[in-house]
């Protein structure tokens, strides 16, 4: 019941100097980690408490030769999930092919992870296609949209990126991800531009 034990809601980080959220709302699904892998209490608690560096160290103690079939994909997904949130995305890129084998990780979480690794691997076109697969009602939809906007920016499709940020920022405050979209819009307009004052005021008032 590993997924069930990790049901948790994480808030987005405070306003960031980039348009990439590092702490999304997270729902670890009930099927993940219910396979044949023996997930230690140390791994479970580290993930639940967002101690991702500790989780990575604990995951590295598992003998990979004992993992086969779909469990390979589940293990790769959990490892990549922790690596991404420990700001070690590059180290997770080699796990891409294995993550696609996972059968118990929730589809939207799997797509989010694959998309973020494609983006980290400088493949924004492919990443954009993956992020677009995530349904608007998903718990990770806002993070996926922010990452989609980043993909468009990396592709040079600034107009599409701005449209996404504007859609997110149009929601009433406070709302997860709004501060990231507001900051991205302010940066794109230029911080010396008088029109960014309302954007910065919203960040200051609602996202201290």
Tokens of 197: 């004052």
What pLDDT sits at residue 5?
A: 41
- Closest C-alpha to 10, from 43, 46, 45, 50: 50
- The pLDDT tens digits of the residues spanning 74-114 come to 999 999 999 999 999 999 999 999 998 888 889 999 999 99
Mean pLDDT of the 156-177 span: 97
- The pLDDT tens digits of the residues spanning 128-152 come to 999 999 999 999 999 999 999 999 9
Q: Does residue 67 carry a pLDDT above 60?
A: yes
CA pair distance 140, 138, nearest whole angstrom: 5
CA pair distance 141, 164, nearest whole angstrom: 12
- Closest C-alpha to 108, from 73, 82, 132, 80: 132
CA triple 9-12-17, angle to 5 deg: 165
């Amino acid at each position: 019941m590993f997924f069930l034990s990790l049901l948790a809601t994480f808030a987005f980080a405070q306003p960031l100097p980039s348009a990439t959220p590092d702490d999304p709302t997270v729902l670890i699904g009930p099927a993940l980690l219910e396979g044949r892998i023996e997930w230690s209490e140390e791994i479970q608690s580290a993930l639940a408490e967002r101690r991702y560096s500790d989780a990575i160290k604990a995951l590295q103690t598992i003998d990979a030769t004992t993992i086969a079939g779909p469990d390979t994909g589940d293990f790769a997904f959990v490892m990549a999930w922790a690596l991404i949130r420990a700001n070690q995305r590059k180290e997770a890129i080699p796990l891409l092919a294995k993550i696609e084998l996972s059968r118990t990780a929730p589809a939207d979480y799997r797509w989010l992870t694959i998309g973020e690794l494609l983006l980290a691997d400088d493949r924004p076109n492919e990443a954009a296609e993956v992020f677009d697969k995530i349904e608007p009602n998903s718990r990770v939809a806002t993070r996926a949209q922010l990452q989609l906007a980043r993909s468009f920016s990396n592709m040079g499709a600034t107009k599409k990126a701005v449209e996404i940020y504007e859609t997110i920022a149009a929601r009433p405050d406070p709302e997860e991800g709004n501060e990231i979209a507001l900051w991205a819009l302010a940066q794109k307009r230029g911080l010396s531009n008088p029109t960014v004052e309302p954007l910065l005021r919203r960040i200051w008032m609602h996202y201290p």
